[in-house]
A and B are shown apart, each in its own frame.
Chain A
Amino acid sequence: AQKITQTQPGMFVQEKEAVTLDCTYDTSDPSYGLFWYKQPSSGEMIFLIYQGSYDQQNATEGRYSLNFQKARKSANLVISASQLGDSAMYFCAMREGQTGANNLFFGTGTRLTVIP
C-alpha cells in the first residue's frame, strides 16, 4: 500500500489566489512527521513545511500552511497569494518514528501551474 497519496497530478491557480494541494498518508505508527517539498524545473528539492503527528496546531511558514486532519490522515498544503514563482512540482513526504525506517516516503507529486 502506498504510504503517501497525492491524487492531483496537475493543478492550475490564478496568480494571487490561494490553492490547496492534497495529500493523504497511511501509517500505523503513532509518531510520524509530514513534510512538503517544492521541486522547480531546476530539479532541487526545497523544504517548505513540517508537521509532527503530536503537534496540536497546524504548521505555517509564510504563505504556506499545512491543513493537518489527523483523523482523516490528510496533510494538505495551502499556498496563499500564489505567485508565478510557485509554479513547480510539489511533493508530500512522511517519516515514521518507530518502525525503524530511516527514510522519507514520497508521493508522486502535484504539478502546480500559476496563471498570470
Chain B
Amino acid sequence: GAGVSQSPSNKVTEKGKDVELRCDPISGHTALYWYRQSLGQGLEFLIYFQGNSAPDKSGLPSDRFSAERTGGSVSTLTIQRTQQEDSAVYLCASSFPSGGFQETQYFGPGTRLLVL
C-alpha cells in the first residue's frame, strides 16, 4: 500500500512568513509523529498524535510551532514567523500501535524548508 506522503517536497520562504507542512500517514496508522532534522544532525522529536488523545507537544521548540491532526488522519505542522534557524528537513512518521517500545515508525520523504 501507499507509504507516508508529505507536501510540499521543498519550501523556500522569507523570514517572518508562516508556513504549513502537510503529512498524510499510512492508512490505518493511528499514531503520527513529526521530527526535525537539521543539516548533518540526527532527528529531533517535535510532536506526537495518537488517535483522539491529546497530543504530546513536549518536543516543540517554541510557541511558533503548532500542529493539528484532523479526523485522525492528515496532519499539518505550522511554523509562524519563520526564522532562519527553522531551516531543516521536517519528517513525518506513522505507526500502528503494537504496544509501547515495539512500534515501528515509517517515515515520509520529508519537507525541506529553507528560510531566507
Neighbour of A47 across the interface among B43, B59, B105, B108, CB < 8 A:
B105
CB-CB under 8 A from A32, the residues of chain B are: 101
CB–CB A102/B56 < 8 A: yes
Neighbour of A102 across the interface among B41, B50, B91, CB < 8 A:
B50
Q: Count contacts on B: residues with CB < 8 A to the other chain.
A: 28
- 15 pairs from A and B in contact (CB 8 Å cutoff): A31-B101, A43-B112, A44-B108, A47-B105, A50-B104, A53-B101, A91-B43, A102-B48, A102-B50, A102-B56, A104-B43, A106-B42, A106-B43, A108-B40, A108-B42
CB-CB under 8 A from B33, the residues of chain A are: 102-104
CB-CB under 8 A from B108, the residues of chain A are: 44
CB–CB A107/B91 < 8 A: no
Neighbour of B91 across the interface among A45, A50, A105, CB < 8 A:
A45
Q: Is B110 an interface position by the 8 A CB rule? A: yes
**For chain A, which range describes its interface: under 10, 10 to 19, 20 to 34, or 35 or more residues?**
20 to 34
Cβ distance B91 to chain A, nearest Cβ, rounded Å = 6
Cβ distance B111 to chain A, nearest Cβ, rounded Å = 10
Question: How far apart are the CA atoms of A74 and B108 in the complex, in Å?
Answer: 28
CB-CB under 8 A from A98, the residues of chain B are: 100
CB–CB A43/B50 < 8 A: no
CB-CB under 8 A from A95, the residues of chain B are: 100-101, 103
Which residues of A, 22-55, contact B by the 8 Å Cβ criterion? 31-33, 35, 37, 42-47, 50, 52-53
CB-CB under 8 A from B89, the residues of chain A are: 43
Contact with B along A83-113 (1 / 0, CB 8 A): 0000000010101111000111111110000
Knowing A44-B110, A91-B42, A103-B48, say if A35 contacts B104 (CB, 8 Å).
yes
CB–CB B104/A107 < 8 A: no
CB-CB under 8 A from A35, the residues of chain B are: 104-105
Knowing A102-B56, A103-B33, say if A37 contacts B101 (CB, 8 Å).
no
